[in-house]
Amino acid sequence: MPRVLLIEDDRAVREGVTLALRRQRHDVVAAGTGEEGMDRLRSFRPDIVVLDLMLPGMTGFEVCRGIRAVDQTLPIIMATARGDEVDIVVGLEAGADDYVVKPVQARVLDARIRAVLRRAGGTSAGTALPKIDTYGDLAVDRAGLTVTLNGVPIPLAPSERRLLLTLSASPGQVFSRQQLLEAVWEHDYHGDARLVDACVKRLRTKLDEPPRAPRYIHTVRGFGYRFAAR
Amino acid sequence: MRARRLRGLRPRLVVAFGLVATAAATTTGTLTFREARTGVLQQSQDAVIRQLRTQVSQRAPELGFPPDRSALQRLASDVAATEGQGHWRVLVTFRKLSAPSVPGDRFEELTPAVREAVGSSRATVFQRVRRDGRTSLVVGMSVTFGAPDGRHLASGVQVFLVVPQTTEQAYVDALVTAVERALVPALVLAVALALLAARGVLLPVRALRHATRSIAEGRLDTRLAVNGSDELADLSHTFNETAAALEASVTELREMEARARRFAADVSHELRTPLAAMSAVTDVLDEDAARLAPDTATAVRLISEETVKLARLVDDLMEMSRFDAGAAVLHLDEIDLAESVRRTLATRGWSDSVQTDLPAPDALRGRVDPRRLDVVVANLVGNALRHGTRPVRVRLHARDAAGAGRLAVIEVRDSGPGIPDAVLPHVFERFYKSDSARARSEGSGLGLSITAENVRMHGGTVRAANHPAGGAVFTVELPLRRDDLSQENPT
């Protein structure tokens, strides 16, 4: 049973979402503030965090960064109010894996949670790929789902790891943002491409890519992204 | 434009001033010239005649009678010699004899009329003759004897004098030149004054024209500087008052509109939180409805369905508010447009109910906001499926528009009766219902407005029409390249 930490300040929304997620067979703990959420993080050890961005006191971004400071790999889904365009980008850059726009129906949220958790679990089942692929300083263990740079393990959030695995599975092939949205996030074709861009940005930072001349993940203007095996 | 320029205030003033200056200078010059010329010529003429008469009176008595040729010659030479500079040419005649002061002089200036006049009259005759570009004064007189009874008898000796009037001519020419020269500065001065006067009038007029245009272009805070207290200043003042009044009422209208929009935005905003709670539990309601008493189940399902619709309506209202506030942002990405249309239909399960005519994969790529394009196509097709008759056709192609570059054209056509002409101009209006008595439609009533706004954000156009072969056609045209407006996605 997935353990979900819900951080949401509005009582009605918190109760409604908690009730609905429990119905979808999630183990839910709800927190009304960011501070309470951070406390619960340690005691509850959730599999995933659903985080409202508009919080009194400690904001959603601060909570997001706070979680990332202690855990680089815990999946985070932001819940944003419709129309807060800037928030989405800021939240994604703060390390969120995905987002939903409120009001959201329980089954949509459930689907997102499960998709993110699938990312955290592993790639497509029955993989016959070799265990470790090496690209320069980068080593990707497709079975163990670990990534090392110069032998040092890099902690990746589920979306980042899935994105890297997807891109590096076909070096040289150009993936459009829409393809990546479908393959990594399980969104539909017309999903928000900013998810991809923000994730690439975070991944490049973690891979210690030079800002002007990335070694591994190349931007192909007008088309998308490509992994270069070098 | 050119003809209008020539009829403008400035050329008219210049021409008028020029004409007045020319007329004044010419009239003054002509009158002065005539008076001066008459004076000059009269004076020199009188002097010549007096001198000639004196000389002839002095020397005629020395002439024997009948005089012979040499005596005539002597008289001629003597008279001619009295004028120091040798300009005088004298001819003395007696019947058939004639003696010029200079031998061989034919005295061509001497007209028969003068000879005859001298012969018939004892008065001194003079004539101004212009010959070969030179003016000469010809004077003729008869030598008379004073008879003891006081009568004057003609001796038959006639004296003619030809004096070139070069000095006088030069004098007169100088006058003409002076008048001409005066005319030029007068004209220049007149034109300068005209331009100055025109400028005095034109500058405010031009300022007024610019200000009017500026107002027309929507810069309602345009005001004129009011200088002086002439009619133009009055006009500028009136203009400023009008502009101020206009600005005030437009500002008021805008404020009212902004308040109304803000209210709509605030209402939708406030609805979001309760809706978020309600939306979260609709699935619970749906799930449990089957186990409830029939009435309760119906009520629960109603609440669930309407909550979903309300959420969608609030969603659309929020989107509209963002368009109104200019807060909507394009996230451009280059995509295969045919694939996008195909996916829009597939996601909503419309692939089987819609006939498509799409270009080959990757044949038509364009920089668009994929999510907004999805909304555009989904709203148009959804609208056609709801209000039109199947089959619904979607066609995508590209065309080159003059001056607009390459356009992607999306046509959505149904097979229904079409849209009534009275309704066509209003289909993109918010909450417009073609049939006011009709029940609430499935859509929010904002779908086509949102479509139009999304197309407009892309710099494209959308229009509704009826196909000649029947059915309503919605045509969207999107520019394929908009590098100047493109907002780069972070890379």
Q: What angle do CA B451, B452, B456 make, to 5 degrees?
A: 120
- Residues of the domain holding A194: 125-227
Quote the tokens at residue B16: 């008028």
pLDDT of amino acid B385 = 87
Task: Read off the CATH number of the domain in which A49 is found.
Answer: 3.40.50.2300
Residues A137, A196: one domain?
Answer: yes
Residues A139, A72: one domain?
Answer: no
Type of residue numbered B194? A
- Residue in A with minimal Cα distance to B287: A23
B331–A192 CB contact, under 8 Å:
yes
* Chain A interface includes B347 (CB < 8 A): yes
Residues A16, A59: one domain?
Answer: yes
At B353-374, the pLDDT tens digits run 888 888 888 888 888 899 999 9
> Do A174 and A223 meet the contact criterion of CB atoms below 8 Å apart?
yes
- Which residues of chain A have a CB within 8 Å of the CB of B366? none
pLDDT of amino acid B201 = 78
If one compares B147 and A142, the residue with the highest pLDDT of the two is: A142
- Say how far apart CA B431 and CA B452 lie, in whole Å: 13
Task: Read off the CATH number of the domain in which A159 is found.
Answer: 1.10.10.10
- Which residues of chain A have a CB within 8 Å of the CB of B308? 105
- Out of B274, B333, B490, the one facing A201 most closely (by C-beta) is B490
At B160-209, the pLDDT tens digits run 888 887 777 777 778 778 877 877 888 888 888 888 888 877 887 888 88
Residues A105, A149: one domain?
Answer: no
- Residues 297-336 of chain B with CB under 8 A from chain A are 308, 311, 314-315, 318-319, 321-322, 327, 329, 331, 333-335
pLDDT of amino acid B452 = 92
Characterize A81-111 residue by residue with b for buried, 16 or more Cβ atoms within 10 angstroms of its Cβ, and e for exposed: bbbeeebbbbbbbbbbbbbbbbbbbbeebbe
At B210-265, the pLDDT tens digits run 888 888 888 888 888 877 777 888 888 888 888 888 888 888 988 888 888 888 77
Last residue of a domain, one of A73, A92, A121: A121
For residue A82, name the pLDDT band (cuts at 50, 70, 90).
Answer: low
Residues A93, A203: one domain?
Answer: no
- Out of A13, A85, A201, the one facing B277 most closely (by C-beta) is A13
Quote the tokens at residue A42: 């340690």
- Out of B274, B280, B340, the one facing A20 most closely (by C-beta) is B280
What are the residues facing B146 on neighbouring strands? B152
pLDDT of amino acid B65 = 72
Count contacts between A and B (CB, < 8 Å).
116
pLDDT of amino acid B486 = 41
**Distance, first Cα to last Cα, chain A:** 41
- Which residues of chain B have a CB within 8 Å of the CB of A22? none
Question: Å from B251 to nearest chain A CA?
Answer: 27
Assembly ipTM = 0.85
Lowest mean pLDDT among B162-176, B436-450, B451-465: B436-450
* Chain A interface includes B449 (CB < 8 A): no
Structural domains counted in chain A: 2
Helix (H) or strand (E) holding B156: strand B152-164
- Say how far apart CA B243 and CA B318 lie, in whole Å: 35
Do the bridges between strand B405-413 and strand B392-401 make them parallel or antiparallel, or are there none, so unpaired?
antiparallel
Residues A14, A89: one domain?
Answer: yes
Last residue of a domain, one of A121, A152, A176: A121
> Does A125 have pLDDT greater than 50?
no
Question: Position of tokens 């919080």?
Answer: A55
Peptide bond into A103 cis (omega under 30): yes
- Which residues of chain A have a CB within 8 Å of the CB of B282? 105-106
> Do B447 and B427 meet the contact criterion of CB atoms below 8 Å apart?
no
> Do A75 and A158 meet the contact criterion of CB atoms below 8 Å apart?
yes
Q: For chain B, what is the mean pLDDT?
A: 82
3-state secondary structure B24-40: HHHHHHHHHHHHHHHHH
pLDDT of amino acid A199 = 92
CA B401 to chain centre: 30
Last residue of a domain, one of A87, A121, A155: A121
Percentage of residues in chain B having pLDDT higher than 90: 9
Lowest mean pLDDT among A89-98, A116-125, B44-53: A116-125
- Out of B308, B319, B331, the one facing A194 most closely (by C-beta) is B331
At B419-435, the pLDDT tens digits run 888 888 888 888 876 55
Residues A96, A112: one domain?
Answer: yes
Question: Position of tokens 């189940």?
Answer: B297
- Say how far apart CA A4 and CA A37 lie, in whole Å: 11
Residues A116, A23: one domain?
Answer: yes
Residues A50, A16: one domain?
Answer: yes
For residue B51, name the pLDDT band (cuts at 50, 70, 90).
Answer: confident
For residue A222, name the pLDDT band (cuts at 50, 70, 90).
Answer: confident
- Residue in B with minimal Cα distance to A226: B491
Instruction: Give the other-Cβ count within 10 Å of B436's Cβ.
Output: 6
- Which residues of chain A have a CB within 8 Å of the CB of B272? 81-82, 102-103
Under DSSP, is residue B447 helix (H, G, I), strand (E, B) or coil? helix
At A16-75, the pLDDT tens digits run 999 999 998 999 999 999 999 999 988 988 999 999 888 888 888 899 999 988 888 899
State mean pLDDT over A190-202. Answer: 89
Type of residue numbered B151? R
Q: H helices of B326-433, where?
A: 337-347, 370-387
pTM score of the predicted model: 0.64
Residues A107, A191: one domain?
Answer: no
Residues A153, A82: one domain?
Answer: no
At B300-345, the pLDDT tens digits run 999 999 998 888 888 888 888 888 888 888 888 888 899 999 999 9
Quote the tokens at residue B86: 């040798």
Residues A78, A137: one domain?
Answer: no
Helix (H) or strand (E) holding B126: strand B125-131
Question: Å from A95 to nearest chain B CA?
Answer: 16
